[in-house]
Chain A
Amino acid sequence: MTEAIYSLRPLLAVLVSAIAIPLIVASYRRPNVREGWSVAAALAKFGIIASMLPAVLAGEEFRWSFGAYVPGVEFALRADALGMLFALLASFLWVFTAFYATGYMRGLDEHSQTRFFAAFAGSLSAAVGIAFAENLLTIFVFYELLSVATYPLVAHNEDEEARIAGRKYLAYTFFGGGVLVLGGTVLVFALAGTTTFGETAAGLATADPTLARAAFAMLAAGFGVKAALMPAHSWLPDAMVAPTPVSGLLHAVAVVKSGVFGIARVVLDVFGPELVTDLGVGVLLAALAAFTLTVASIIALRQDRLKARLAYSTISQLSYIILGLGVLGPTAIKGALLHIPAHAFMKLTLFFCAGIIHVETHTDYISEMDGIGKRMPLTMTAFAVAAAGMAGIPLIAGFVSKWFLLIGSVETGQAVFALVLLVSGVLNIAYFWPIVYGAFFESADTADEKPLVRGPFGGHTPVPDGGTRSGESPVDRSEETNYAVDRNPSDHHSEEAHEEHDAHHGGPGPDGWQWAGWTGAEGSWLMLGPILAIAAGSVVLGIVPYEAVFLELIEQIVAGVSA
């Protein structure tokens, strides 16, 4: 552990948006001032974190401590390289999300905007707290506070669907956090006498291996709930009822990345790669991640709702990171950690595109998006770029991280995972390409059938009288599919509820899509600007990942862990 510089900056980075909360609430009558506080807090947060970056790159760490929170454990924040990775990502993306959310909420004239922006600020506060936590107990405190702060965002719409999603969200995240992570933390403390990252491995190595495995399982499962590792993933598609900036926040920046970050801390700092290999739990984690990867991609193929497809894509992509952490060679870890910002940029772009499409055209279903490239060219271009990155096309961020993951798997002799990654790449193309192709190269009248979405299982069989008989009756537009597993991706989410909820008026309209031009007439620049900026960011990250700071940080992390 390097000697840390005592500094208030980690604390300030966490608190600056917490301080913004009462200011936001107090400005409820003046929306521009209120949104101004969000932007100001985001910029301040990013500024504070960025100011620590040069020193961290040089190998130093910043530390702040409250003192002993419980005997033996301090409530302390430490800005080290891994923490800086997450914090930098979260604060940078929040700046853009603040603008985007303003555009989105105003575009839809949403209710309870003050509560929304206040909860947003609180969530970011908790996320940076998770990033900078020095020990398991501190990370647990912020983990729970993140659950509390994001719940109002999930249940924002206040209709039945949102309430159900909110209940599910609370149940899953509190089970993961309050039960599993707390249990793992207590167990680690009982076995090792400390919970500080980097200092627990010695004690755990000498403890009873069954108990150490149990602690790993609990911590990985607890963080894995937020990281949407199967089978604890189903809260995520349900949380799609939230407004799109929230989906972006949940799925790119704060919540799911905090789960993955937690697993990274557990694997790299609590146990350490050698101990994980000795205990044999890395392979299990990687196998579970591989399973999640593949199954989520397959489920994504059948989703007609764009946000649902993106949700399953997220579940799949997060497991890339967990796979890399389970495979454990230095290259694989590098790939996994690089995928954190890479996926964040790409997925945020995709969600923001989905959001602006919803605001401008009220279209939520892919089958209604044929030809929408005419109406929203800039948006769909950004979408295409980000989707290409997801599939691992070179020049965009996803390629670099995937490359490292592939090499890492082969290096450690677990080439089967490389195969899984390649298959997943194909599946990614399979579920993203139709959207892009349909948007630019088709129009509403001449659109091709989408057999994967609409076709029944079992296929069609031609019948003598000229019609077709299929294994099941063809899918009706008004219900996604006949299958419970698709209609209810969770066990009590009901599609019927969402039909009543907003009279579906999406789609191109009687004259088809209107050409909007390339100058941004398609929507508000409050939303377009962030989309284009973040899409550009994902390209930058794909071309010069080292100069874009993230890869440099990651190489430092890996060097520190292997030392």
Chain B
Amino acid sequence: MSDATLAPIGLIVVPIIAAALSLAAGLVRDRSGWMVALAALLVEAVLMIWLVDAVYRGPGRLVHELGAYGRPGSDGFAVGIELVADELSVLVVVLISVVSLGVLAISRRGGPRGNAFYSAYLLLAGGLMGVSLTGDLFNMFVFLEIVGLATYTLVAADRSAESAVAALKYLLIGTTGASLFLVGVGYLFLATGTLNMADLAAMLAGEPSFVEEALYGDTLVVAGFGFITAGLLVKSAIFPLHTWQPDAYSAAADSVTVYISALASTVAAYAFARVMLTVFTPAFFEVNPIAATAIVTLASVSIVAGSVLAVMQRRVKRMLAYSSVSQFGLIIAAIGIAVHPAAVDAGIPFAGIERTAAEFAVIGTAIHLVGHGLIKGGLFAAVGTIARTEGARTVAEYAELGRRAPVRSAAIAVLALALVGVPPTVGFLGKWYIALGAVGAGLWPLAVVIFASTVLTLTYVARLLERLYFTPRSVALPDRVAADGGTAAAGEPISPTVGAIVVIVLATIGVVALGFAGTEVTEALDPFIAEVFNS
């Protein structure tokens, strides 16, 4: 039996090859893109299960050396690119695989068609897997760029003017962010001479014999941190670097929005977590405490600003996009707590085990990364099908949809409440861990913001719920003459596809079920946590 280190490489390569196949198949037979994508993503799912088994049940952290160059030099540094699958990255891999398949179910009828679209789709999947699985910093940049390019294409896929402008905006801002990231990587390379994450961490800590002391205070390194952070915060759409996101989400085709909202910024936030926890490690932040404070402060501003901006929106997709700004603020805040010097030392004893506040923050990051991806994906899926069948795109047009689209409205209600953080959903679980981290570390302003985020999220969620169930159409849309719904285009009502409903219902069930998975995730992440905090 081949060993599981083939799984990471398979996960990245299969979709990329399939992307090319999709284009080629388009020459032979039109409309074959969906089948190619389905086949490729099913293979991905199998590889994903194999990887999950290997990492969580089997040997644990897996390393695959591309090209098997080994470590020939005297310094023992890796020469080639390593792919690393550890407990945190496999969580993200699972999310990517599940969401890709789910969106496929929606886009069959609902989304843009054409082999070129599915080619970009698969390329995006490959890029996302690459970011999650790579162990090399420059390789991460490459995959981030692949993700970016594929996303720009997908945003413009429905060929409307609005989406073209949105895609251009995303391209300009996104590329700037990626370039900042590259500059940071370059500085780190200059300071340490290696790009491999594990080796970088060792070099920065001053472990090799030829390094006199830890490099954490080195100007190049700190500058590198700054640039990398700036670049990744652009990609995660943190206020005030978020301006590409609302346009991109609302202008893109509905199934594209599901895909990118669940995954693109999620993976960028994962990249941030990976770099901060594995490369810089909490030791860097002990030497430069202002770095942790800066991350936490920026994140807090984003949490508040995102919610405030969301309340002001009339279009539902824009409102949810600003909601993402706020939620990613929460995730970045969690990462900030995880590396904050106050949190790393703050022990919280319970039931005989001692855990630090930082460990809780790491668990919270992981749970909220995955949980938010599911919630947002489910919400955009429901919103997308409603836009297609009812023609409702603004909050006011959602009036009385509770009666006309009961299943989807119920799903939106549950998912929206999960976003607020009502237990026992996964949204609450992530918030619990992050709040525990903040309180345990004594970061009181941040704790206040985290608790307040419940009410802030409620402001825009409640608006939507009120429209869905408690507002008659005549009150919400007084200028419309026709009282019946139906789409603007055809006289005959369109019903949602089975695939879309299944995806939405599964997402809702998943969000509630995962709300009970706290202990499982904690146990699964334990080896990763041990490595981050004890090494």
Q: Is the CB of A71 within 8 A of B518?
A: yes
**Contact indicator per residue, chain A 505-516, by CB within 8 Å of chain B (1) or not (0):** 000000000000
Chain A neighbourhood of B519, CB < 8 A: 67-71
Q: Is the CB of B435 within 8 A of A182?
A: yes
Chain B neighbourhood of A158, CB < 8 A: 470-472
**Contact indicator per residue, chain A 433-467, by CB within 8 Å of chain B (1) or not (0):** 00000000000000000000000000000000000
Mark out the residues of chain B between 503 and 535 whose CB falls within 8 Å of any chain A CB in the assembled complex: 516, 518-519, 522
Report the bound CA distance from A158 to B447 in whole Å: 36
Closest to B515 in A: A69
A497 at the B interface (CB under 8 A): no
A499 at the B interface (CB under 8 A): no
Q: Is the CB of B432 within 8 A of A144?
A: no
Q: Is the CB of B350 within 8 A of A167?
A: no
B439 at the A interface (CB under 8 A): yes
Q: Is the CB of A174 within 8 A of B350?
A: no
Mark out the residues of chain A between 130 and 163 whose CB falls within 8 Å of any chain B CB in the assembled complex: 137, 140-141, 144-145, 148, 152, 155, 158, 160, 162-163
Mark out the residues of chain B between 432 and 451 whose CB falls within 8 Å of any chain A CB in the assembled complex: 432-433, 435-436, 439-440, 447, 451
B429 at the A interface (CB under 8 A): yes
A416 at the B interface (CB under 8 A): no
Q: Is the CB of A182 within 8 A of B466?
A: no
**Contact A166-B466, Cβ < 8 Å, known A148-B422, A178-B420:** yes
Chain A neighbourhood of B462, CB < 8 A: 167, 170-171
Q: Is the CB of A174 within 8 A of B455?
A: yes
**Contact indicator per residue, chain B 395-430, by CB within 8 Å of chain A (1) or not (0):** 000000000000000000000010011111000110
A193 at the B interface (CB under 8 A): yes
A-B contact count (CB 8 A): 107
Report the bound CA distance from A158 to B472 in whole Å: 7
Segment at the B interface, from A3-11, A183-191, A318-326: A183-191
Report the bound CA distance from A293 to B200 in whole Å: 65
B171 at the A interface (CB under 8 A): no
Pick from A148, A163, A178: contact of B451, CB below 8 A.
A178
B454 at the A interface (CB under 8 A): yes
Chain A neighbourhood of B357, CB < 8 A: 190
Q: Is the CB of A178 within 8 A of B422?
A: yes
Report the bound CA distance from A148 to B461 in whole Å: 12
Q: Is the CB of B516 within 8 A of A69?
A: yes
A108 at the B interface (CB under 8 A): no
Q: Is the CB of B455 within 8 A of A160?
A: no
A72 at the B interface (CB under 8 A): yes
Pick from B432, B454, B470: contact of A162, CB below 8 A.
B470
B353 at the A interface (CB under 8 A): yes
B72 at the A interface (CB under 8 A): no
Q: Is the CB of B423 within 8 A of A189?
A: no
Chain B neighbourhood of A186, CB < 8 A: 432, 435-436, 439, 447
Report the bound CA distance from A420 to B422 in whole Å: 39
Interface majority SS (helix, strand, loop, mixed), chain A: helix
Report the bound CA distance from A187 to B357 in whole Å: 12
Report the bound CA distance from A158 to B466 in whole Å: 9
Report the bound CA distance from A170 to B458 in whole Å: 8
Report the bound CA distance from A141 to B427 in whole Å: 12
Interface size (A, Cβ < 8 Å)? 38
Chain A neighbourhood of B458, CB < 8 A: 170-171, 174, 178
Report the bound CA distance from A180 to B447 in whole Å: 11
Q: Is the CB of B518 within 8 A of A190?
A: no
Pick from A145, A152, A189: contact of B348, CB below 8 A.
A189
Pick from B421, B433, B454: contact of A70, CB below 8 A.
B433
Chain B neighbourhood of A284, CB < 8 A: none
Pick from B353, B452, B475: contact of A160, CB below 8 A.
B475
Chain A neighbourhood of B431, CB < 8 A: 182
Mark out the residues of chain A between 70 and 129 whose CB falls within 8 Å of any chain B CB in the assembled complex: 70-73, 75
Interface majority SS (helix, strand, loop, mixed), chain B: helix
Q: Is the CB of B423 within 8 A of A141?
A: yes
Q: Is the CB of A163 within 8 A of B470?
A: yes
Chain A neighbourhood of B355, CB < 8 A: 71
A179 at the B interface (CB under 8 A): yes
Chain A neighbourhood of B350, CB < 8 A: 71-73, 189, 193-194
Report the bound CA distance from A178 to B517 in whole Å: 20
A365 at the B interface (CB under 8 A): no
Chain B neighbourhood of A66, CB < 8 A: 516
Mark out the residues of chain A between 173 and 209 whose CB falls within 8 Å of any chain B CB in the assembled complex: 174-175, 178-180, 182-183, 186-187, 189-190, 193-194
Q: Is the CB of A69 within 8 A of B518?
A: yes
Q: Is the CB of A152 within 8 A of B423?
A: no
Closest to A151 in B: B465
Instruction: Tell me the minimal C-beta distance from A255 to chain B in angstroms.
Output: 16
Mark out the residues of chain A between 389 and 417 whose CB falls within 8 Å of any chain B CB in the assembled complex: none
Chain B neighbourhood of A145, CB < 8 A: 422-423
Chain A neighbourhood of B451, CB < 8 A: 178-180, 182-183
Chain B neighbourhood of A163, CB < 8 A: 466, 470-471
B482 at the A interface (CB under 8 A): no
Chain B neighbourhood of A72, CB < 8 A: 350-351, 353
Instruction: Tell me the minimal C-beta distance from B404 to chain A in angstroms.
Output: 15
Report the bound CA distance from A328 to B432 in whole Å: 32
Instruction: Tell me the minimal C-beta distance from A239 to chain B in angstroms.
Output: 14
B469 at the A interface (CB under 8 A): yes
Pick from B351, B420, B421, B472: contact of A194, CB below 8 A.
B351
Closest to A164 in B: B466
Closest to B522 in A: A71
B349 at the A interface (CB under 8 A): yes
Q: Is the CB of B424 within 8 A of A182?
A: no
Report the bound CA distance from A172 to B294 in whole Å: 32
Instruction: Tell me the minimal C-beta distance from B516 to chain A in angstroms.
Output: 7
Report the bound CA distance from A170 to B470 in whole Å: 14
Chain A neighbourhood of B417, CB < 8 A: 148
Chain A neighbourhood of B454, CB < 8 A: 174, 178-179, 182
Report the bound CA distance from A145 to B515 in whole Å: 14
Report the bound CA distance from A70 to B353 in whole Å: 13
Q: Is the CB of A166 within 8 A of B470?
A: yes
Q: Is the CB of B522 within 8 A of A144?
A: no
**Contact indicator per residue, chain B 335-375, by CB within 8 Å of chain A (1) or not (0):** 00000000000001111010101000000000000000000
Q: Is the CB of A140 within 8 A of B423?
A: yes
Closest to A67 in B: B519
Q: Is the CB of A70 within 8 A of B423?
A: no
Report the bound CA distance from A162 to B470 in whole Å: 9
Pick from B348, B423, B470, B522: contact of A190, CB below 8 A.
B348
Report the bound CA distance from A48 to B6 in whole Å: 56
Closest to B348 in A: A190
Chain B neighbourhood of A166, CB < 8 A: 466, 470
Chain B neighbourhood of A70, CB < 8 A: 429, 432-433, 518-519, 522
Report the bound CA distance from A187 to B436 in whole Å: 8
Q: Is the CB of B436 within 8 A of A189?
A: yes
Instruction: Tell me the minimal C-beta distance from B7 to chain A in angstroms.
Output: 29
Closest to B400 in A: A158
Mark out the residues of chain B between 139 and 168 whose CB falls within 8 Å of any chain A CB in the assembled complex: none
Chain B neighbourhood of A189, CB < 8 A: 348, 350, 436
Instruction: Tell me the minimal C-beta distance from B150 to chain A in angstroms.
Output: 37
Q: Is the CB of B518 within 8 A of A155?
A: no
Instruction: Tell me the minimal C-beta distance from B511 to chain A in angstroms.
Output: 15
Report the bound CA distance from A137 to B451 in whole Å: 15
Chain A neighbourhood of B421, CB < 8 A: 178
Chain A neighbourhood of B429, CB < 8 A: 70
Q: Is the CB of A71 within 8 A of B471?
A: no
**Contact indicator per residue, chain B 463-505, by CB within 8 Å of chain A (1) or not (0):** 0001001111001000000000000000000000000000000
Mark out the residues of chain A between 258 and 292 whose CB falls within 8 Å of any chain B CB in the assembled complex: none
Instruction: Tell me the minimal C-beta distance from A500 to chain B in angstroms.
Output: 13
Listed by A's residue number, 10 A-B pairs whose Cβ atoms lie within 8 Å are: A69-B516, A71-B519, A141-B424, A160-B475, A166-B466, A174-B454, A175-B455, A178-B422, A183-B451, A193-B350
Interface pairs A-B: 4 shortest CB-CB: A72-B350, A178-B454, A141-B423, A193-B350
What 6 additional pairs, Cβ within 8 angstroms, besides A158-B470, A182-B431, A190-B440? Answer: A67-B519, A140-B423, A144-B428, A152-B469, A179-B455, A186-B432
